[in-house]
Amino acid sequence: MTKKKQPFKIVASNKKAHHNYTIIETLEAGIALKGNEVKSIRKGLVSLKESFARIDNMEIWLQNCHVTPYAEANTFYKIDATRNRKLLLHKKQIEKWMGKAQEKGLTIIATKLYIKHNKVKCEIALAKAKKLYDKRDDIKQKDIKRSIQKEMKRR
């Protein structure tokens, strides 16, 4: 059998994003990286836990994304692990998202970091924070679906 190759390799994902936020819209963006950050990302030494994006002067910046410095890199070329990284988008896309992000309660978060055609890409999402009762309701719905699936397998 021939194995189908995925079009991209997911390096990191924000697992709490779907739990804490209601995802409204997603968008793929490139990232401007320095030095050996790509090698660290390829090794999987990256975390999107607390990362979010902010629009500043018609540019979108990824903040709080932790990329562990590459161990085999030269010592004189040190890069801050949580520095702000520029997301590469078209101007029309930035203008569209800037209008949406200014609405009350909406924010831009990073959901995935992956490698597509040897380029590092970031999936960002326009999201609205969930209230505690929404989170509880989602957990309850997942439990119900899980129990239904168990019953279907049993029969």
Share of the chain above pLDDT 70, in %: 94
Question: Can you list the positions of beta strands (E) in the chain?
Answer: 8-13, 21-31, 46-47, 52-56, 59-63, 66-67, 85-88, 106-116, 119-129
- Decide if 127 contacts 24 (C-beta within 8 A): yes
Full set of structural domains in the chain with CATH = 8-130 (2.40.280.10)
Answer whether residue 79 shows pLDDT above 90: no
Average pLDDT, integer, range 7-34? 89
Q: How far is CA 86 from CA 56, 60, 79, 101, 147, in A?
A: 10, 6, 15, 17, 44
pLDDT 10s digits, 87-131: 999 999 998 888 888 878 889 999 999 999 989 999 999 999 888
β-sheet bridge partners, residue 23 = 127
Answer whether residue 140 shows pLDDT above 80: yes
Both ends of the chain: CA-CA distance in Å? 32
Task: Tell me the whole-structure pTM to 2 decimals.
Answer: 0.79
